[in-house]
Structure 1
Amino acid sequence: MANILLLGAGFVTGPLVDYLHKKEHTITIGSQFLSEAEKLAAGRSHLFPIQVDVTNDDELANLAAKADLVISFVPFQFHVAVARICIAQKVPLVTASYAHQDMWALNEAAKEADIILLNEIGVDPGIDHMTAMKVIHEAHDKKQKVEALVSWCGGIPAPEANNNPLGYKFSWSPMAVLTAVLNEAKYYSRGKVETIAAKDLLSSMRDVPFNEELQLTGYANRDSLGYREAYEIPEVQTLLRGTLRYPGFAAIIHKAKAIGLLSNTLFNDAKPSNWRELIAQLSDLSLDQLESSFDSDPELVENFAWMDCFSDRAVAGRSPIEAFCALLQDKLQYEENEQDMIAMQHRFVLTDENNNKIFHRSTLVEKGDVGGFSAMAKTVGYPAAIAADLILKGQITRKGVCIPVTQDIYEPVLQELEKLNIKMVEEIVNDESEASFLNHL
């Protein structure tokens, strides 16, 4: 039994705490909101809720010094500071967030401290990396090359809960969902680098025929170029990592972005009192003029009206994006007994030694448990918890800054996930339309 410091007690920490508690670890649950930590710990021994300020380095250092491992589920911008404290205290760290440049810069210091800083061990990133690498390594073992890899993932409502104009509900950080569409995207297409400007990201959405039941849309996710090296596939010609959504999401969020609802400029003294005023202020138009500016699309006007954007509803937040985030968080909630869903799919084109093409597809559909953990919580929380347990048991021994793309990490984690019924379905697709789809990226 080890002592774990968990920072964060939000949307996806339930399965993580549940898994590690069953492994009989002692967990200090630190959150800026004590009530959230207390809710996670309620009724169970060896769980200790505390209120923590993650910007207080001295406080964090004292907590980390008493821990055998730290798990950081706070917003990604705090991870590097937490990582530096973990290095100073020689305590391993696990996060589910992307490892950005500042995190990678700590690699040598982490090795000198003889600890691992394991990042990207959630669902996307996380399960996507591990399941893709399993196929890639197996292909390379057979002397096959990876000509193309397109990897899609989306946290969306289950079809029966898809009952609003956006086709979306929040099972993850609302602000993270909105800010994700503010990034440009880069990927490889038939050997060439393609770039999608941030302003064009949502208008670049393309149809993704996921399976017979799900017809989704997707957009390229940030910068896929670095995964040619990370995935050890220098031969790859097409490489794209993308985000899945239901049809309807793109048009609404693209219009919101064009209006200025994703701006982080503070209101200061010019905060509007209601949503009618905010929309008029952002667009410099009257309400009638604004509605006519929606490209004569009555459905789009109706959808913005459904969101209360033309109403007398009070504006919350310090900026347009905070206000929009608060509005959507209220409108896009899961009702009791509704299920969320993780839809993930890798589409590979492999070539054998005779240059024959093999179309390999890996698919995961994971639904939330009615009255229990969401699919998002399970697929983010369990991988991080499993990895933490393996590190504490000495079964993951790698040091430095890591992501789960090596066999010593992904193999035991995927084996344990399979015991929890989280597993990819692998199939060979003998269909030339697969090649046609990839060639039109």
Structure 2
Amino acid sequence: MIAPPCIEYLSSNPNNHITIVDYPNSTCAITLDVSDSTALDKQIAAHDLVISLIPYTYHPAVIQSALKSSTPRRHSINISPPIRVLFSVIKKAGITVLSKVGVDPRVGHFCVVKKIDEVRKFYPYCGGLPTPGNAGNPLGFKFSWSPHGTLLSQRNSARFLKDGVVVEIPSEQWMGSAGPYYVKNGYDFLTGHRSTFIPAIKSLLDFPNEAESQRIISGLQWMGILSSEKAKIVGGNLLATLCGESDLVRLEHKFVVEWDDGKTETFTSTLELLGDPDGYSTMSKAVVVTSGLATQLLLDGHPALSRLGVWAPYEKEICDLIRGVKGDEGVLRNFQQVQ
């Protein structure tokens, strides 16, 4: 679902020959079970580079296979503990694993590195949702391609720096730490800033009026939480994104800048992308166009991306390079900055 924009971008270079796994409309398509290590090894060894856009739990298996044939690879997810343990092995094998090249925190990284020497504080927020007109259920959310991955991500822990102190939130407390965050145009999101689960529940149960109370209770009824009847799924998952609908990617950065005279100012950069109901989703464009750009730079042997080992867009040389090309492709042109 998210691969086509990346394929389209890379196909524009006549020097690239692409094999797509499990993509029935392509003449170069193959069907491959990633758990079949023998078949996986054979296909990866036959290519110069592999892009892994499958659920993140399978990435370590792809890396292990790439190590056998010294095939560079890139993916768009965070560097997980199973990948971290392979750092020294990957570098010794002489291959490049490029990670975190997508929308969040990847697009965020490109912009943060540009400002990092100027800022005192930085607050990044990003979310992928259906557009308000297509969020026709009480959750206001739909699974676009991997419900399992979406739910599994809620088991991740969090670690960030706040006011000079490292804050850590264990995975079992992550959902309970969520709180509302308002951005312009009336959007209201939940972010990880509540301290315990109990205050969050009290807040949710403290309905401002009867109409809001009925709205939430109706939503619980819609989800079947108040019923013992087994759900009947008609036409697939009721929360799945449907054809003809569009999605929304919303990213906001707040920079607190401290000048030489001690004066501080706050700048806000926002990115809002809408998908095409009859074309690509905005998540696919935001994630895999970036993947395609980084892949082409890697294939072209650009020095910034030709380092051995596991890399992510944290360094200025890498970020400036990808940000410049990505801006040319139009994704970053949608950024707006206000003071």
TM-score under structure 2 normalisation?
0.84
Tell me whether 379-388 or 298-307 shows the greater mean CA deviation.
Answer: 298-307
Query: Residues of 2 paired with 1:122 and 1:329: CA distance?
Result: 28
Give, in angstroms, the shift of residue 160 of structure 1: 2.6
Q: CA deviation at 1:314?
A: 4.8
2:327 maps to which residue? Answer: 418
1:304 aligns with 2:220: yes
Q: 1:81 to 1:200 in 2, by over 3 A?
A: closer
Q: Residue 414 and residue 374 in structure 1: after superposition, are their counterparts in 2 closer, same or farther (change >3 A)?
A: same
Aligned residue for 1:154, secondary structure, equals strand
Change (3 A) 1:328 1:198: farther
1:364 to 271, 277, 281: 271
Q: Distance in 2 between matches of 1:63 and 1:391?
A: 19
Cα deviation per residue 1:167-195 (whole Å; 9 max; x = unaligned)?
Answer: 11223421222222333433333223334
Structure 1 match to 2:100: 120
After superposition, residues 215-234 of structure 1 pair within 5 angstroms as 215-220=187-192
Q: Which residue of 2 aligns with 1:330?
A: 237
Change (3 A) 1:359 1:329: farther
Distance 1:417 1:327, change over 3 A: farther
Separation in 2 of the partners of 1:427 and 1:150? 14
Contact kept? 2:175, 2:192, Cα under 8 Å: no
Rounded to whole Å, the distance in 2 between the matches of 1:339 and 1:95 is: 24
Name the CA shift for 1:329/1:419 in 2 (closer, same or farther; >3 Å).
Answer: farther
Which amino acid in the other structure matches residue 79 of structure 1? H
- Which amino acid in the other structure matches residue 189 of structure 1? K
**SS class of match (1:370):** coil
Q: Number of aligned pairs?
A: 320
Does residue 19 (structure 1) correspond to residue 9 (structure 2)? The answer is yes
1:405 and 2:292 are equivalent in the alignment: no
With over 3 angstroms needed to count, the CA separation of the structure-2 counterparts of 1:196 and 1:101, relative to structure 1, is closer
Rounded to whole Å, the distance in 2 between the matches of 1:22 and 1:308 is 48
Runs (4 or more) in structure 1 with deviation over 6 Å come to 326-329
Q: For 1:214, which of 152, 162, 186 is the aligned residue? A: 186
Instruction: Report what 2:337 is aligned to.
Output: 427
2:75 maps to 1:95: yes
- 2:146 and 2:243 map into 1 onto residues whose CA distance is 19
Aligned-pair CA distance for 1:308: 4.0
Q: Secondary structure at the match of 2:7?
A: helix
Distance, in Å, in 1 between the alignment partners of 2:115 and 2:314 is: 11
Q: Give me the TM-score of the superposition, normalised by structure 1.
A: 0.66
CA-atom RMSD, angstroms? 2.8
Unaligned runs of 5+ in 2: 194-199, 206-212
Structure of greater relative contact order (alpha carbons < 8 Å, 6+ residues apart): 2
> Structure 1 stretches of 5 or more lacking a match?
1-10, 32-36, 42-46, 222-249, 256-296, 316-325, 430-441
Distance verdict in 2 for CA 1:328–1:304, change over 3 Å: farther
Conserved 8 A contact 2:87-2:309: yes
Conservation of the 8 A alpha-carbon contact between 1:117 and 1:401 = yes
Matched-pair contact (CA < 8 Å) for 1:155–1:171: no
Pair 78,179 (structure 1): closer, same or farther in 2 beyond 3 Å: closer
The aligned amino acid for 2:112 is A
Which one of the candidate residues 35, 43, 46 is aligned to 1:63? 43
Q: Is the 8 A contact 1:87 1:115 kept in 2?
A: yes
Correspondence for 1:78: 58
CA distance in 1, matches of 2:264, 2:316: 25
Of 38, 46, 50, the match for 2:24: 38
Note the 1:7-406 alignment, pairs <5 A.
11-24=1-14, 25-31=16-22, 37-39=23-25, 41=26, 47-136=27-116, 140=117, 144=118, 146-211=119-184, 213-220=185-192, 298-309=214-225, 310=227, 312-314=229-231, 330-395=237-302, 396-406=305-315
Over 3 Å counting, the alpha-carbon distance change for 1:339 and 1:391 in structure 2 is same
In the alignment, residue 406 of structure 1 is paired with which amino acid? E
8 Å CA contact 1:360, 1:428 repeated in 2: yes
What secondary structure is seen at the aligned counterpart in 2 of 1:152?
strand
Q: Is the 8 A contact 2:180 2:191 kept in 1?
A: no
Q: What do the CA deviations read for 1:51-108 (whole angstroms, capped 9, x no partner)?
A: 1111122211111111010111122122122112212211110101111133233333
CA contact (8 A) 1:174 1:329 kept: no
The change in CA–CA distance for 1:122 and 1:328 in structure 2 (over 3 A counts) is farther
Instruction: Say whether the 8 Å CA contact 1:97–1:125 is kept in structure 2.
Output: no
Give the SS at the match of 1:330: coil
Deviations 1:21-79 (A, max 9, x none): 22232211123xxxxx113x2xxxxx511111111222111111110101111221221
Structure 2 CA distance for aligned equivalents of residues 56 and 405 of structure 1: 34
- Offset at residue 415 of structure 1 (A): 2.2
Give the Cα–Cα distance (whole angstroms) in 1 for the partners of residues 289 and 157 of structure 2: 30
> How far apart are 1:114 and its partner, in Å?
2.6
- 1:345 and 1:356 mapped to 2: Cα distance? 23
**Structure 1 residue 344: Cα displacement:** 0.5
The alpha carbon displacement at 1:200 in A equals 4.5
Structure 1 residue 121, shift from structure 2 partner: 0.9
2:94/2:308 contact within 8 Å kept: yes
Deviation string, structure 1 residues 296-344 (Cα, Å, up to 9, x no partner): x5444321322345364457xxxxxxxxxx8997222334432101001
Give yes or no for contact 1:116–1:398 (8 Å, CA) kept in 2: yes
State the Cα distance separating 1:203 from its structure 2 match.
4.2
Please give the alpha-carbon distance, in whole angstroms, between the structure 1 residues aligned to 2:33 and 2:2. 20
